[in-house]
A and B are shown apart, each in its own frame.
Chain A
Amino acid sequence: MFTDFLNTIKELALSSGYAKGSPLQFLMIGIACFLIYLAIVKQYEPLLLLPISFGVLLTNLPFANLYHPELFITSSGHIDIQNIVEHGGLLDFLYLGVKLGIYPPLIFLGIGAMTDFGPLLANPKSLLLGAAAQLGIFMTFIGALFFGYTPQEAGSIGIIGGADGPTAIFVTSKLAPHLLGPIAIAAYSYMALVPLIQPPIMKLLTTKKERQVVMQQLRPVSKLEKVVFPISVTILVSLFLPDATPLVGMLMLGNLFRESGVVERINKTAQNELINIITIFLGVTVGATAKAEYFLNTKTLGIIALGLIAFSFGTAGGVIFGKIMYYATGGKVNPLIGSAGVSAVPMAARVSQKVGQKENPANFLLMHAMGPNVAGVIGSAIAAGVLLSVLQ
């Protein structure tokens, strides 16, 4: 009787995850716990890093069978929905939203509903700063090619430089889905580290005099301008670059909800409930793609290093173009607002404000930096469209 009891306990213990889990899985559980720590204690983009890190934890629990990457890799290259329904787990079903490119555009809908494009409309030249800050994407693309990544992988790594999580996920899910986990983690981690990464680059590329420039007050923007803007952007960008339509179109639809003022209920849902629900699904499933066998390799280390380069080049591109505008306008533009061109709304704009105010306490750059900041969102969506149309 007692022997039977011991045997049962022994069998139970041997078949448990503790005994059968591989060292790599336990290492990934450790990494997941570290990411959870960063999200909760250090508050690094907790809204996304927390679900992502918990997704990493869930997917690496031995025998939990929540996510099966093999279901999404078929010889024909198409997803076999029937197979997923029959053999998939919870995260497989939720992952369909990433794989089919549903979640990132819906996140963009919410972002659009939360974004005020007023500063950009008041100073349209700041769009150019948003374009210059996309330099990091393409410089990193070249770097990644040299390190032996395929063009599709290089494009997905480069888009980290756009400092826009949903865009990075959208592009990677189309071009290199096997790198989704490391790219999403790198993108969101670096976005959280913007206050540490950007200031040294900003100071290195500008003089004290340039950093002290006080910019003129922005003109007020009428409601009509704000309503016409999303419609014009959608038509213009989508006709020029159809691959950017899912992101730009949804971003602008969300913004139209906000500015039109006639669909307050939908606007509220888009910027609260909808984006929150999608964030949970997106975060957990993207985290789930970071299975030990796909995550723990030299490619991930390369992605983390190249991601940092992408962010740095993006910041440098924006600041350098800011300097060009400083000279072109006879010293009316503070080059610090250029660094905000790397999306990461509103963190990058806050960094410009903080660095600017350190040099001149009476200087308020926040609203001026919001222009390039929201322009960066449009710029990175266009850059994503270019990468998709060429590399897909």
Chain B
Amino acid sequence: MTHSKYSALELTSLLLICRLARFFCCDTPYSAAFARGIFVTGILQAALLLPIFLRKQPWVTPRITRWLVRGFALLLGAEAAADIYRFLCDADAPHPALTLMLLLLTVLYVVSLPRPAIYHAAVFILVAAAIAFLLLPLGGLSSARLVSLWTQSTETHGFLQEWALSAELALIPMLCEAQPQAGKRAAVAWIAVRSILLPLVVLFGTMQCGRLQAWRNNPFLLLLARVPFSDALRTDGLWLMLAIACGLLAVAFLMGCFCGGDLRTAPHMRFAGFLPLIALTILFIMRNCNEILLGSMSLGLTLLQWVCPRSIPPRKEQQ
């Protein structure tokens, strides 16, 4: 993977968009326990990445691990596609399956574009999401109830969910290998934003949602319905577009990771046409996949990359 042209902001945007896409589509009810789970997971993941941050020599991932991580990126892409499908169904969108297939074809087109396009789009979408998240509490502060934070829920479930939803953790060592400085900064920003801002949004959602913690299986749609604000910021407006755009970019980025960086020059280009089909096939397999499997896979792969480099000498081109 060669990422030398891209800044830390662009890499951060893509990593955050992967997390945001899954945040919009996740079906875990908002609760204080879930917010705590996100925070604790962020701390643990930061500790896990500490060896990479502190290492001064170039980070080298063995070939077999790299292939495993690429395969995992494909799985994550399929899971993100499944999430978009579920989100479309939850939002009562017409023809969700056909729309998803067309969106996946669009992903293929996006992946085949010059790489800066994806990175620039990611920054743009992230800025739009940041503005939308800033506007969200403005309309709902008066209707938020602090006492809702004590609504009963289990912490373990939120913790495990967060491991699964932030599975792009496994890609960070590879990003740090390709682009050490920008990769490290992006990883730090990814952890900081996730561990601080997402729990705040979840807490705000909890205060809005009261005892009914999810609706149509999606707590974010419930939060949007509860916030008294203009229709433009409701499900049929900006948020729906934003969620789908985040999902598309996340799938495109993860597919790009699977193809080893640049799809146009990758030796696996001949597979490109089948990517949406592969994704769709895996999508249906993944529907039965629970958070423990995804969470443990991301943890395992990160640990594998953490352990392996010490026994393998750095490659010539990186010395």
Do A and B truly interact? no
Residues of A within 8 A of B (CB): none
Binding site for A on B (CB under 8 A): none
